[in-house]
Amino acid sequence: MTGIYDERAARKAYVRRRQTAVFSITVACMVVALVISLLFYFHIFGLGEPQTAENQPNHGVTVACAVPDSSGTAKYVDTSAVHVRVLNGTQHSGFARAVGEALTNRGFTVENVANYQKTDVKRTVIYYGKNAINEAYTLNDNFTDAVMRMDDRQDKLIDVVLGATFDNLKTKSRVLGKGAKIANVDGCVDGSKMTSLPKALTHDPVN
């Protein structure tokens, strides 16, 4: 009888240990799941954070794909073929002139430097038309934080409206230059298919 009793007691102890182990593992899994849920809920380390314009290609603005040449490759153009008007969208006096001089030194044809109609522009914007898409890419390759925005202009003049986040042009060593292959912005579309474009800047800059 003693042997049978001992066997039953041992079996019960074994079952209790199994139940305790299963319960402990279940609780541990629930705690881990709760912690992960909280990390996502409060966006700790950026987890579960909705994608904003700040981290989308071209800051969430639809951009035209670069136009390929007869070989099927889109290439950066000579800077002298890029006609630019530099406009200061900030309160910093002389901002446009300084950037205009820097672009001139890089070979761009700077048509004019002036003040924009607003002084609270946050991020630099490069306004271009359907006839200057590769030129816009060429200019944009010199900036680190600009947004390319296509409007309905028909000429090849490109407006650069400087914003508060602008710090400096990209170093020359990082600029690809004439003849290099243009890497399209993710999600770009055929420029000829872009409709409902905003009106081109028609204001007279304030000198």
Residue-level pLDDT at 180: 97
Residue-level pLDDT at 51: 43
Whole-model pTM: value is: 0.72
**Residue range 38-44: average pLDDT?**
55
As a whole number of Å, the CA-based R_g of the chain is 30
pLDDT at 11 over 90: no
Element (H, E) at 29: helix 2-41
CA distance linking residue 30 with residue 109, whole number of Å = 64
Query: What are the tokens at 124?
Result: 């630099």
CA distance linking residue 129 with residue 200, whole number of Å = 8
pLDDT at 106 over 90: yes
Residues 124-183: tens digit of each pLDDT: 999 999 999 999 999 999 999 999 999 999 999 999 999 999 999 999 999 999 999 999
- The residue with greater pLDDT, 39 or 84, is 84
pLDDT at 50 over 50: no
Residue-level pLDDT at 201: 82
Residue-level pLDDT at 24: 76
Query: What are the tokens at 190?
Result: 């055929």
DSSP character at residue 157: -
Task: Return the amino acid letter for 165.
Answer: T
Lowest mean pLDDT, pick from 2-6, 89-93, 160-164, 179-183 = 2-6
With a pLDDT cut of 70, the percent of the chain lying above it is: 75
Sign (positive/negative) of CA torsion 140, 145, 149, 153? negative
**Under 8 Å between Cβ of 59 and 65:** no
Phi, psi of 83 (to 5 degrees): -95, 125
Residue-level pLDDT at 56: 86
Q: Where are the beta strands (DSSP E) in 43-179?
A: 83-88, 109-115, 125-128, 147-150, 158-162
119's CB contacts (< 8 A; 6+ apart) are 88, 89, 90, 91
Confidence of residue 20 (pLDDT cuts 50, 70, 90): confident
Beta-bridge partner residues of 110: 84
Q: For residues 97, 103, 104 and 108, what is the CA-based torsion angle, rounded to 10 degrees?
A: -130
Residue-level pLDDT at 203: 52
